[in-house]
Structure formats: structure tokens, C-alpha cells
Amino acid sequence: MAPNRILPDTCAWIDFFRGRQTPLAEMLGDSLIRLEVVTCGVVLYELLQGLKNPGEEVLVQNALQALSHLEMTRDLWISVGRLSAQLRAAGHTLPLSDVMIAAIALENGCAVLTVDRHFEAVPGLTLLNGE
């Protein structure tokens, strides 16, 4: 059964907030309308650290505050460590933030909306390719 919740990677939000007419931004917009979108702390962190002015922060925080927020737990941190070790053993080194996004998605039955191809290395992860 396909996941009915979507955890957009930061790249999807960047296209969306910048008003880019990309398949990634369009898929995110459609998913928001269908109330399928969730978020997590690492995506919020990545978005906030890249902002240029306080007005952008207000926009981002208001938009993401309306969504369900998936939290990290001790068990989820263990899953992140195990997943990272598994990926490294298979020759794949993903950034910690992306391993966290993948583990959160796997734990919560979410698909990840992204254009980052390295997510393809994560076993069992459902991807929505925004290309």
C-alpha cells in the first residue's frame, strides 16, 4: 500500500517558497491541498538556516506550523544510526540530515518528495521524484 503522507525534503520547500514552477514545487502544492504533507525538525532547521531575512522566517514558520510535525525519539535516533551504518556498508554515504529524513519517513510510513537521488539507496523508502 502506498503511503498517504508525504515528507517533503528541503529542496521541495525551497522551490515551493521561491515560487518556482518546477514539478517538485507543483507536487508539493498539490499534496498540501490534499492535506498529505507532514514535516520534521531537520527540514525546519535546514530551511531556517538558509533564510535571507526575518520576513522569510515568519512565512516558513507559519506555513510549517500548520502541518503535522514528526518528532525524533531515542528509538528513532537508534534507527538513524543503524540506517547510516547499513548504507555505509553498502558504499553509500548520505548526509546526516538526509538519513534522518529517511528514517523518520520509514518509521512513520511517509513517502519522501525530493530530487536528491541518493535517497534511492535507502531500502524500503518510498520516493516521489519531483523531476
Summarize the confidence of residues 33-59 as an average pLDDT.
92
Residue 77: which CATH number? 3.40.50.1010
Check residues 50 and 114 and name the one with the higher pLDDT.
114
First to last CA, the chain: 23
pLDDT digits (tens, 9 = 90+) for 75-87: 999 999 999 999 9
The share of the chain scoring above pLDDT 90, in percent, equals 83
Predicted TM-score (pTM) of this structure: 0.92
Q: How many domains does the chain have?
A: 1
Q: Which domain holds residue 92?
A: 5-129
Give me Rg for the CA atoms of the chain: 14
Distance of CA 22 to the CA centre of its chain: 17
CA distance 45 to 50: 9
Mean confidence (pLDDT) of the chain: 93
